[in-house]
């Protein structure tokens, strides 16, 4: 079985870019949290065919609520942080 855990050690003097990697991981996690929150809100603002509330409450032009909802869902899928968690054992820093 392949190893799926990689420890990032920013304390090693030879690891000049470890802190940048940890920062990027933390930013990715925060972005996922924000998009997850937005998706949760959006899930309560539509019935699968009417996206007017998403447009209203997120300040979007009429007719783009459905597409925006789809994009937000896609971003969450693309930002699968489970892959990132293996780099730090579930926590960065």
Per-residue pLDDT of the chain (93 residues; tens, 9 = 90+): 566 677 777 776 667 788 888 888 889 889 989 999 999 999 999 999 999 999 999 999 999 999 999 999 999 888 875 655 555 555 554
Which pLDDT belongs to residue 16?
78
31's CB contacts (< 8 A; 6+ apart) are 79
Which pLDDT belongs to residue 91?
55
Which sequence spans correspond to the domains of the chain? Answer: 31-88
1's CB contacts (< 8 A; 6+ apart) are none
Q: What is the pTM of this model?
A: 0.71
Which pLDDT belongs to residue 38?
97
């Amino acid at each position: 079985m392949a190893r799926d855990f990689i420890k990032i050690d920013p304390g090693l003097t030879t690891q000049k870019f470890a802190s940048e990697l940890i920062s990027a991981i933390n930013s990715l996690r925060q972005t996922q949290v924000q998009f997850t929150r937005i998706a949760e809100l959006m899930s309560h603002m539509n019935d699968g065919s009417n996206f007017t509330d998403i447009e209203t409450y997120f300040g979007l032009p009429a007719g783009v609520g459905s597409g925006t909802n789809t994009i937000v869902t896609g971003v969450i899928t693309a930002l699968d942080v489970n892959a990132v968690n293996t780099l730090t054992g579930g926590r960065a820093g």
